[in-house]
Amino acid sequence: MTVVRSRTLRRMRFDKTLDVERAMAIYAHPDDAEFGMAGTVAKWAKAGVEFTYCMVTNGASGSQDPDMTRERLRDIRAAEQSEAARILGVKNVVFLEFEDGYLEPTIDVRRAVARQIRIHRPDVIFTMDPTMRYGGGYVNHPDHIAAAEVVLRSINPDASTRQMLPELWQKEHLEPHKPKALFLMAFGAPDTVVDVSDVVDTKIKALLAHRSQIDEDSVDFIKGWMKEAGKKKRYAYAEGFKVLRFEEDGAPRRDARREGRKAPQARGRRASPSTTPSRPARRRR
C-alpha cells in the first residue's frame, strides 16, 4: 500500500444540510474516478475540500498488448493515476494494490478499505453504484461492482461499528467513522447533479493523463455525456449522482427495524431521468 499525503483543510457548503471538509473516492481501477466524477472532484478541491483517492486494485489487467507485463502495466497506471490526481488537486492518493480483475468483497478487502476510511475520516464518500450491471451496450466490470459493494459494507458495518473489525481500534487505534453522505456515480437516473461547467477542461486533462486507457477521440463523447446530464438544470456540463444522507454524529439514532428500514431520502438538486449514454466512451476497460 502506498500513500501520498499532504494537508490543507477548508470547509465547503454543498447545500444547506451538508458541509464538507474531507471527501474520499473509493474505486477499483485507475481512470474510474476520472471518468464519472472528476469534474466534481476538481470543483470541490478548488473550494478547499481535502480529497483522498483510494484505488483498490493495481490496474494490472487493463491491456491487450501481448508484450505488456502485469508488473509494468501496474507501474504505468499508478503513475497515470498520480498525475491525474495532481491535475485535479487531490491531496492524498492511496494504492491498496489488490489484483485487478480478481477483486471480491472479501474480509481482507473490507478491512483495507475500512482502515482508510477510519484514517481519513471523510464527510462524503464517492463510489460507483453496485447495482449497475449492464446497459447501453456495456457490461459493468466485476471489480467496479465489488469495490462499490465493499464501500456499502464499510458504511454498515465495517468502518462505522466498533465491534466490527475490532483490531482496527484495539491495535491500530483507529476509531469508527461514518460519513455524512454517500455519492454513487449515476450514469442513468441521478437524483443530484453537480454543475462542473467551470472545471470541464480540468476533468478532460485528468482523463487524458490515463494515456494507456483513454483515446483522444473519446473527448467529444464524454463532453456530450456531461451536456446531457446538465440539460434539465441548464448547466453546460454536469455530473450525476445518487446521494444517500446519513445521521450526523450526536444525532439521535432511529431504530431501523421499527421504522420499516425506510431508505434515507437524498436531498439536492433534482436531475433529469434521461442521462444514460447510448453507448460507452471508448476506453480499454
- Using the CB atoms, write b or e for 145-157: b if 16+ within 10 Å: bbbbbbbbbbbeb
Q: Does the structure show a pLDDT above 80 at 258? A: no
Bond before 252 cis per omega within 30 degrees: no
Q: Average pLDDT for residues 18-39, to the nearest whole number?
A: 96
Q: Does the structure show a pLDDT above 80 at 173? A: yes
Give the per-residue pLDDT at 61. Answer: 96
In sequence order, the 6+-apart residues with CB closer than 8 A to the CB of 208 are 214, 216, 219
Q: Does the structure show a pLDDT above 60 at 271? A: no
Residue-averaged pLDDT of the chain: 87
Give the per-residue pLDDT at 161. Answer: 97
Give the per-residue pLDDT at 177. Answer: 98
Asked whether 116 and 65 are in contact (CB, 8 A), the reply is no
**Cα 64 → chain centroid:** 26
Instruction: Give the pLDDT band of residue 261 (cuts 50, 70, 90).
Output: very low
Q: From CA 20, how far away is CA 123, in angstroms rounded?
A: 6
Q: Does the structure show a pLDDT above 80 at 264? A: no
Q: Average pLDDT for residues 219-234, to the nearest whole number?
A: 92
Q: Average pLDDT for residues 121-140, to the nearest whole number?
A: 94
Amino acid found at 47? A
What percent of the chain stands above pLDDT 90? 75
Q: Which helix (H) or strand (E) is 119 found in, with range?
A: helix 107-120
Q: CA dihedral defined by 256, 246, 147, 94, rounded to 10 degrees? A: -140
Asked whether 197 and 234 are in contact (CB, 8 A), the reply is no
Helix (H, G, I), strand (E, B) or coil at 259: coil
pLDDT tens string 62-87? 999 999 999 999 999 999 999 999 99
Q: Does the structure show a pLDDT above 90 at 18? A: yes
Say how many residues make up the chain.
285
